[in-house]
Amino acid sequence: MWGYVRDIWQGAKSIVVGHIVTFRNFWRPKITDRYPHSDAGKNWRPGPGYRGGFALLKSDEEDRELRCTACMSCARACPVGCIHIEGEGKGKERHPVSFYIDMGLCVYCHQCVEACPKDALTMTDEYEISGTSRAVLVRNLEELVAAGEGRTEVSRVV
């Protein structure tokens, strides 16, 4: 009998405690955000190590536009083979004439950036990468160069 009463008492108490918890949470600041509409959502940028879209960086040297020498290191490092490069020229002249990254295949592993001996390829903080067709997701050389406009550092956690 005593155990029965105690069971009811403890059960009732645990239920009341649960309600206190939810009541307290009701008044707490909310953690979700109205992402594209709120100021915080619009202005949010990921950290420097974020792995989003891709960009090719401009070279400091006078005689070449891009740092990339089409050495294929990134294409070899890629576990899924989503990078396709065609290079032209010999030695110091060598540069890419076409550079495709298929974002539909990419697994965002960052290994291409780490493999690059010239720090020419970087991942950016672009995070709205969805498209309406597979073709849209293939980035070509112009898009990659445009994405790297004004950027000098490769993506890296600091």
> Under the criterion CB under 8 A, does residue 43 sit at the interface with another protein?
no
Token pair in block for residue 73:
């290191």
Token pair in block for residue 67:
């740092």
CA dist., res. 124 & res. 150, Å (int): 12
CA dist., res. 10 & res. 4, Å (int): 10
Q: What is the dihedral of CA 66, 71, 74, 80, to 10 degrees?
A: 130
Q: Which is nearer to another protein, 12 or 136 (CB)?
A: 12
Question: Which residues in 69-128 contact another protein (CB under 8 A)?
Answer: 77-79, 107-111, 114, 123
Q: Which is nearer to another protein, 9 or 136 (CB)?
A: 9
> Under the criterion CB under 8 A, does residue 134 sit at the interface with another protein?
no
Q: Which is nearer to another protein, 2 or 23 (CB)?
A: 23
Q: Which is nearer to another protein, 51 or 67 (CB)?
A: 51
> Under the criterion CB under 8 A, does residue 18 sit at the interface with another protein?
yes
Q: Are 88 and 98 in contact (CB under 8 A)?
A: no
> Under the criterion CB under 8 A, does residue 25 sit at the interface with another protein?
yes
CA dist., res. 57 & res. 112, Å (int): 14
Q: Which residues bind another protein (CB under 8 A)?
A: 7, 10-12, 14-15, 17-26, 28, 30-32, 34, 46-47, 49-51, 77-79, 107-111, 114, 123, 155-158
